[in-house]
Chains A and B, each alone.
Chain A
Amino acid sequence: MAEGGGCQGHKAERMDYFLQQMINGLTLGGVYALVALGYTMVYGIIQLINFAHGEIFAAGGYLGVIFLSFLTANGFMETHPGLGIGLSLVLSMGYCAMLAMAVEKVAYKPLRQSSRLAVLLSALGMSIFLQNGLMLTQGVYDKAYPTEFTHGGFDLGAIRVSYMQIGILAVTAILLVALNALVFRTRMGKAMRATAQDKVMSALVGISANRVISLTFAIGACLAAAAGIMVGLYYGSVRYDMGFVPGIKAFAAAVLGGIGNITGAMVGGLIIGMVEIMAAAYLPMGGQYKDVFAFVILIGVLYFMPTGIMGENVDDTRV
């Protein structure tokens, strides 16, 4: 053991401590980024702060634990652990896509011609509704993820990296690449971008706005579901109100990166995650004020770059 506080005084200068915190920051940022992607896509297309998105993320986490425990109980996880996780991931993504499309059809679509505040409020109502729905069906206690392997990891010198951290970053990167390909390389993506830029014009050239919007919600929900499962696996449990705080942080991340901009959401998420961790790691009283630092960075960036770091990408005409 090191002498008294000897190691503590120098920790600010030590590289391994910094790198360890950096990995922590990247992991947290990866989670925010995954949730932020869904926000930014929905916002880009209908300019709605989808408060219910955080709840979709929570539902994804819950469905993950439901499918995983079901598979574990039936002995499937012992024989095919990788396949089991993959299957749960796909199933809960599908579920969340259905849920998000239902929410859109019921609570947002009828209000498309109304003021944006009306839709915002409807979203808030749905958020409260879904959160309490989860609480009532799944109980007030946390649900534990059944897998034990998530504790594993390896040491790189003095730095400890867990497999789950690698997993989160890998999934985030893969989904980001896939999403970029989807949006910029496919006809569907072209339709989405067209609708995001000008609804009237894109309708005139034969793009069905309703279908594109449904699809956007479905894709955003898939990303949220993936984030929910990764969070569940990484942190070990899910809880009915888990969507609320990451929801707000992810929204901040989306705005920070430039709302409607997919790469921006990723960058914003990583920055917010990194700021929180570094504030807690290096600043006195950083632990309790870390959210303050995150928001101050957000306000500062927006003050000098009013459309976010990567620039916004939204239709600014009112339809």
Chain B
Amino acid sequence: MTRGSRVWMLFALAMGWLFLLLWPLLGIHPDGSLTFAEAFSVWWKIALAALFGFVIHRLSRAGVFDVVTRPLSRLTQGVGRVYASSPKWMFLVPLLAFALTYPFFTDRYAQDVAVNVLVYICLGLGLNVVVGLCGLLDLGYIAFYGVGAYTYALLSIHYGLSFWLSLPVCAALAAVAGCLIGYPTLRMRGDYLAIVTLGFGEIVRIVINNWMSLTNGPNGILGIAPPSIIVPAMKDGVLVMETVVMRQLSYMYYIILGLAVFTVVAVRRLNFSRIGRAWEAIREDETAAELMGVNTFRFKLLAYAMGAVFGGLAGAFFAARMRFVSPESFTFIESAMVLAMVVLGGLGSIPGVILGALALVALPEVFRQFELYRMLVFGGVMAVMMLVRPEGLWPAARMGKRSDDEG
């Protein structure tokens, strides 16, 4: 009981603290008056919500909800077991079928959100190679996205190169950029790497914004050709090859779906290859990995380049879809968002990253109804999600056993 009352006292203290934080912002006015009504009206709403959450939390700790949660957790465990024991295609086939038929039963807006989610899945999986598999913190990943986008934009408007031919060029250039950035920075560890990559990301953005003759600076590049495909068609009884410009959003959806599936497969293959094992070794203990004969520098550089390739592909698609690129799309906050997807979903876990991208792209759209409160709610939800599931929504299964694993 004393313990219980202590908890409630702490709760009261926290709410008092909150009021003290709210009141100066809302209650002290520049005309020299003091009021309490505004601060109080905001405070009691938050306090009530907090109280509600807190009571639920206490009750669940005390086992009141066991009637519901026990069978529920048994159910989820059961589902997990069924999932683990049944072949993967049983889930992949319906999922793929859903993805393929998605444009037929959704409207434009839903398709647009889906396209964005898929773009960020590519980006997230690319960054996952660097952060999740190799353990290198990268805060400037969006630079590769920018390189890809501008590469296709320039190739398209200057040389009229088609989207499909540009894709490998974009990927290659992004990989080169990855090596260029990786070479001087990869000797650094941990958070030094973070600030240096952040710096490189900013450098790329500032250069894009200022190199007028190449990128047209802040005006951006307009008139990028959308992808087109050549299909056989019958014209006046003769078989001709016809170019179909894929302007429609649903076509765009299928292109990015293809790219995303390619990325998923590629990252998965990489993950389970020798290279992937080397990356994981570096992530777990760089010194030990080097001792075991892994060329850490080369593998780290490779991780950078591979991550950049997926970023470049996503960038090329982004340019083709928007038919317009400008530096506003490649700011630091975008890098932070992609990193958030990877961490939120679960480092190194492919389904996790997909879930993370889904959450972080779809949430701001869901929150549109909050208008001004949109980003506030988003920031809060992001912190809360981390508190509830610090290891991510779908953590990666560890390969093998480590000495500090218990049991």
Contacts and interface: CB of A to CB of B under 8 A. Distances in A.
Interface string A110-124: 110011011111101
B202 A66 contact: no
A252 B140 CA distance: 14
A114 B17 contact: no
Nearest to A146: B30
Nearest to A133: B376
A292 B210 CA distance: 11
A255 interface: yes
Looking at A117, A129, A146, which has the most chain B CB atoms within 10 Å of its CB?
Answer: A117
Interface string A94-126: 010011001000110011001101111110111
Looking at A43, A74, A129, A289, which has the most chain B CB atoms within 10 Å of its CB?
Answer: A129
Interface residues of B, number: 58
A306 B383 contact: no
Looking at A67, A70, A95, A288, which has the most chain B CB atoms within 10 Å of its CB?
Answer: A70
A259 B189 CA distance: 13
Looking at A121, A136, A303, which has the most chain B CB atoms within 10 Å of its CB?
Answer: A121
B187 A303 contact: yes
A138 B206 contact: no
A171 interface: no
Interface in B18-55: 18, 20-22, 24-26, 28-34
A295 B206 CA distance: 11
B199 A252 contact: yes
B339 A121 contact: yes
Nearest to B392: A118
Interface string B276-297: 0000000000000000000000
B51 to A, nearest CB: 16
B17 A98 contact: yes
Nearest to B132: A117
A107 B24 contact: no
B184 interface: yes
A66 B28 contact: yes
Interface in B114-173: 131, 137
B195 A252 contact: yes
Contacts of A72: 32
Contacts of A248: 198, 202, 332
A162 interface: no
B387 A111 contact: yes
Given A107-B387, A128-B382, A95 B188 contact: no
A295 B201 CA distance: 10
A8 interface: no
A70 B20 CA distance: 17
A317 to B, nearest CB: 13
7 contacts: A102-B18, A102-B21, A106-B383, A111-B390, A121-B386, A248-B198, A292-B203
